[in-house]
């Protein structure tokens, strides 16, 4: 795959991870079951790291891409 395509893939994965962070934060605010405990916050924290990693990977792939004419 070309580097532009990898950049788009990583950007999409980063945005999906950000959406999951918001979802887990909303579940933490208003859980359906008290048994959830603090797990939504743990998942949200982990996904913040994943989102940042995909964001950095997207920027790296964009830098490796040749300049467009």
Each domain of the chain, given as residue ranges in start order, spans: 3-64
- pLDDT per residue as tens, the chain (69 positions): 798 999 999 999 999 999 999 999 999 999 998 898 999 999 999 999 999 999 999 999 999 878 777
Q: In the prediction, which pLDDT does 64 show?
A: 86
- Cβ distance 63 to 5 under 8 Å? no
Nearest 5°: phi and psi at 38? -100, 10
Q: Look at residue 2 and give its three-state secondary structure.
A: coil
């Amino acid at each position: 795959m070309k580097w532009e395509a990898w950049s788009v893939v990583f950007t999409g994965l980063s945005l999906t991870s950000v959406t999951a962070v918001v979802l887990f934060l909303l579940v933490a605010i208003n859980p359906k079951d008290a048994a959830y405990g603090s797990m939504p916050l743990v998942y949200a924290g982990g996904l913040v790291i994943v989102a940042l990693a995909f964001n950095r990977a997207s920027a790296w792939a964009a830098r490796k891409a040749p300049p467009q004419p």
